[in-house]
Amino acid sequence: MYQRNFENLLHTNPPRSLLLYGENSYLIDNYVQHYIHKTGAAESLMTQYFDEYHFQTAKNYLSQSSLFGGTNLLILKSDKKVPKSELDTLIELVSKNPDNYLLYVYSGADKDAKTLQSSFTPNRGANWVRLFEPNMHESVGLLEKKARHLSIDIDRYAIQHLLLLLNNNIALCANELDKLAILNGKVTVKEIDRLVYSTAPLAVEQLMTELFEKKPIIETLSRLMELGIDEFAILRSTQFFINQIFLFHAYMKLHGTIDSKEILGYKLPKQLEQQKANLALRVKSQALLKIMEHLLSVELQLKKTPATNREVLLYGALIKLQSYL
């Protein structure tokens, strides 16, 4: 089921067992909060996140009356599939007791989520919804709704600027709106630039990853330009990133393992460490040398090029960089 159909169902006959999955974590969290508020189960609910899941505990919870005489709301959040037999048992327990609810927030692969759908059938008072990453129009609409709820005087243009500044992350934007709600008067771009910390460094990292994975870069590059990151800053970031990849590449050749603390002098998060290692494995030593020489040449060209032509020069230089990979 898609969001529009689910919204209609939510206001008429909300399912008491629900599978939520997809790319829109903001809406998923909103729907979870909606159920907590609607059921009044904030004090009696049970949550089992990731490796906390224990079937017998969950079963016992749904098999008994609420300790507070209200609703039993079981929330499961995991990137692993609950075995079908266990899931069917939990859904059956919910269907037999009108005071029971089950929310299963699945964050694993979408193809695996599809195999879970068969347990969430309407004849058991259950259903599923997949939530896609919203486009800009949908994102602005969600944040406008949030702003109205907080009684914030902010126009559509300022909301779009906030989204741009935070790399289209709705959850981050919503958190910033909570903070901006304490201001008196209209919230404009000026207040946002003064009070909201940009995620431009994350966008730069994204650009570098897209470069190495030979993906289209024009959208990310344009967003960085709109954030006020100039061509020289992007070039310096590229040189810094290439240097890190070289260090990872050399360390793995010498030791056969990775250790960002030894390589960089500080420990990276595991996911980021593995990502850089994977990129370093994909490039040859000679290619790294050619890229470094290429970037030095680009730096000289940028310094001699009029400001109006630098963006085009940088884009062409980054495309050429991809040809070395």
Helix (H, G, I), strand (E, B) or coil at 21: strand
The encoded tokens of residue 131 equal 């939530």
CATH topology classification for 3-131: Rossmann fold (3.40.50)
Domain ranges of the chain: 3-131, 136-198, 201-323
Phi, psi of 13 (to 5 degrees): -145, 75
Distance CA 298, CA 71 (A): 64
CATH number among 1.10.287.980, 1.10.3720.10, 1.20.272.10, 2.60.40.420, domain 201-323: 1.20.272.10
CATH number for the domain formed by residue range(s) 136-198: 1.10.8.60
Residue 144: predicted pLDDT: 93
Select from 311, 109, 325 the least CA-distant residue to 224.
311
- As a whole number of Å, the CA-based R_g of the chain is 25
Helix (H, G, I), strand (E, B) or coil at 264: helix
Sheet (strand 17-22) strand order: 46-49, 72-78, 100-106, 17-22, 126-131
What pTM does this model have? 0.60
Residues in the chain where the model's pLDDT stays below 70: 65-69, 198-203, 269
Residue 136: predicted pLDDT: 80
Residue 289 to residues 138, 171, 236, 292, 324, Cα–Cα distance (Å): 44, 40, 16, 5, 10
β pairing state of 72-78 and 100-106: parallel
Residue 198: predicted pLDDT: 63
